[in-house]
Amino acid sequence: MKLKELLMDITPTAMTADPDMEIADICYDSRAVGLGDLFVAIAGLETDGHQYIPAAVTQGAVAVVCQQIPAEEIPYILVEDSRTALALISARYFGQPAKEMKLIGVTGTNGKTTTTLLLKSVLEQCLKAKVGLIGTNENMVGDEVVETERTTPESYELQKLFRQMADAGCTYVVMEVSSHALALSRVAGLRFAVGVFTNLSQDHLDFHKDMDNYARAKALLFTQSGKGVINIDDDYAQVMLRAAEDTGCHVLTFSVDKNEADLMAKNIRLKTGSVEFSVLVPGQIQRMVLHIPGEFSVYNALGVVGCACCLNIPLEKTADALGKARGVKGRVEVVQTDGDYTILIDYAHTPDALENVLTAVRGFAQGGRTVVLFGCGGDRDPTKRGPMGKIAAELADHVIVTSDNPRTEEPNAIIEEIVAGMQESETSYVTIEDRRAAIAYAIDNHQPGDIIVLAGKGHETYQEINKVKHHMDEREIVAAHIASRAG
C-alpha cells in the first residue's frame, strides 16, 4: 500500500517521506519491524519509541512516523500525536473494517465484562447476528475464541481484529473500552453506535492520578458515540452526560429505584442464584430474571436493556434473551465443593467491586459465615489497599489476606497495607502469602453453611511474580485440594 493512502486521515506538521513509497506493514515495536515497514514511534508508559528509531532502521523500516525529527537518516512523517496517527493509519491499512460493522462500547470500572457478554447474547438471540467480542476475559469472532492480553488492544491489533471479524461476517462488535484505551488513543477515529457507562470507582489511579482525570477519560467514549446509555445513580454520571451533550450524543439514562431515569428497575428480589426485577420504560413494564445474583447484576442488565432499546430491540425480546443467559466465568462463579459450603470465584479487585460482591453474598447467605480471600495487585494503585481491607473487615465474618499478582512488589508489603485498613474492626483475619496455601486453609477451616469468596483473580489463570506469569487456576486448586482431602 502506498504511504499517501495510509496518511489520508493524517495532517503531518512536516514530512520528508515520499508519499508514493510502498509500505509493507505498520509496526510500533522496533523488534518486530520487517523490510519495507513503516515504523511508528510512540511514547510508551515505560519507554519512548523514539529511542528505537535506529533499531527500526536496522531492521528495515523505510520511513518513520514521529513527534520529533529523528537524528537518523530516514524519511519521516512528523505528527502532533503519534498514538492517534497509529490508530488512523492502522484503520486505513486494514481497509476501515470498523465501518463495516456496528460498534457498541462499554466503559466503567466494574461490570464491563458481564455487560458485554450479556449484550453479545442478546444480539445473537434477538437479531440472529454474528457478533464480535473484545474484552477482559477473551476476544471472540462469533463463537471462535481469540486470546487477549489487555482489555482494549493497541490500535494496530484492534484494527487487525476488526478486519478478522468483518471478514468472518460479523455485523456487530461489542467491546469493553478501558480508560487506558481512551486516554491513549487506541480507539481514536472509531464511531460507536452505542456507548454504555456502568459505574466509576477507585482504580487505575497509578495512571490517571485522580478520580476526575479517570472520569474524564471514561467520558471520551461519549464524544465518539451516536447514542449513550448512562447509569445516573453513579456519582460521576454528570461527567458522562456533559460529554454526551457537548457532542450531540443522544442519551438514555438508567437507575435502580433511586433516581428518575428513562429506564428504571423496581420490585427487585435477590436470590441465591439469580435476581428478579421489573424494568420500567415510558409506557411499558417488563418483568425480568437474570441468573447472576446481586443488585449489581440489575445495573448490568439495565445497561444491556438500554443498549437494546437504542437498537430498537423490543423489551420483551430482550427480557427473554436475558432469562436464557447464564453466568460469566470469574464473576460470582460457583465452584463445586465436597460439603455443605459454597465457594465463589469473583474478579473483584477494586474497593467498589469487593463491596458489591460481599454485599450480594450477605444478601443470600443462609446461616453460615461470609468468608473472603483476597489480595491486591503489585505495581498498581496502592491507595486502594487499605480501603479494600476495611471493606472486607466490615462485610465479611472472616478474612484471609493473601497475594494477588504481586508483580515486582514484595507480597508481604502489600499484605501489610491491606491489613492496616482492618485495624478498626474486630473481624477475625489471617494472612497467608502463598495463595494456594490460603485457598487450602479456607477449605480446611470452613464451617457448615459458609460462603467462601475467592476475590481478585476471577477469570485469570496465572499469577504474575517479578514479570513472570505462573499458571494458577483457582478452579484447579480447589478441585485438587478437595481431592487430596478425600484421598
pLDDT digits over 122-157, tens only?
Answer: 999 999 999 999 988 889 999 998 876 666 789 999
Q: How confident is the model at residue 177 (pLDDT cuts 50, 70, 90)?
A: very high
Q: How confident is the model at residue 217 (pLDDT cuts 50, 70, 90)?
A: very high
Please, are residues 253 and 262 in contact by the beta-carbon 8 Å criterion? Answer: yes
Q: How confident is the model at residue 368 (pLDDT cuts 50, 70, 90)?
A: confident
Residue 330 contacts by C-beta under 8 Å, 6 or more apart in sequence?
A: 113, 137, 345, 346, 347, 457, 458, 459, 460
**Cβ atoms within 10 Å of 468's Cβ, excluding its own:** 9
Integer Cα distance of 23 and 75 in angstroms: 12
End-to-end CA distance of the chain: 64
The two beta strands, 63-66 and 38-40, are parallel
Containing 298, the helix (H) or strand (E) segment is helix 295-310
Residue with cell 475467592: 454
Q: Each residue of 383-406: pLDDT tens digit?
A: 999 999 999 999 999 999 999 999
What per-residue confidence (pLDDT) applies to 243?
97
Closest residue by Cα to residue 45 from 212, 204, 246, 250: 204
pLDDT at 204 over 70: no
Q: How confident is the model at residue 268 (pLDDT cuts 50, 70, 90)?
A: very high
Torsional class of 468: left (φ above 0), alpha (ψ -120 to 50), beta (otherwise): beta
List residues bridging with 38 in a β-sheet.
26, 63
pLDDT at 194 over 70: yes
Mapped onto helix, strand or coil, the DSSP state of residue 51 is helix
What per-residue confidence (pLDDT) applies to 109?
86
* 353 backbone dihedrals φ, ψ, rounded to 5°: -65, -40
What per-residue confidence (pLDDT) applies to 326?
80
Length of the chain: 487
Mapped onto helix, strand or coil, the DSSP state of residue 163 is helix
Q: How confident is the model at residue 438 (pLDDT cuts 50, 70, 90)?
A: very high
What per-residue confidence (pLDDT) applies to 332?
84
Containing 242, the helix (H) or strand (E) segment is helix 237-246
What per-residue confidence (pLDDT) applies to 444?
96
Torsional class of 332: left (φ above 0), alpha (ψ -120 to 50), beta (otherwise): left
* Burial 389-398, CB ≥16 within 10 A → b, else e: bbbbbebbbb
Please, are residues 204 and 214 in contact by the beta-carbon 8 Å criterion? Answer: yes
The three cell numbers of residue 119 are: 449484550
Q: Provide the mean pLDDT of the chain.
A: 93
Mean pLDDT (whole number) for 230-245 = 96
Integer Cα distance of 140 and 370 in angstroms: 35
Residue with cell 519495507: 36
What per-residue confidence (pLDDT) applies to 118?
96
Q: Each residue of 284-298: pLDDT tens digit?
A: 999 999 988 888 889
**Cβ atoms within 10 Å of 11's Cβ, excluding its own:** 8
Q: Each residue of 21-78: pLDDT tens digit?
A: 999 999 999 999 999 999 999 987 678 899 999 999 999 999 999 999 998 899 999 9
Comparing 293 with 225, the larger pLDDT belongs to 225
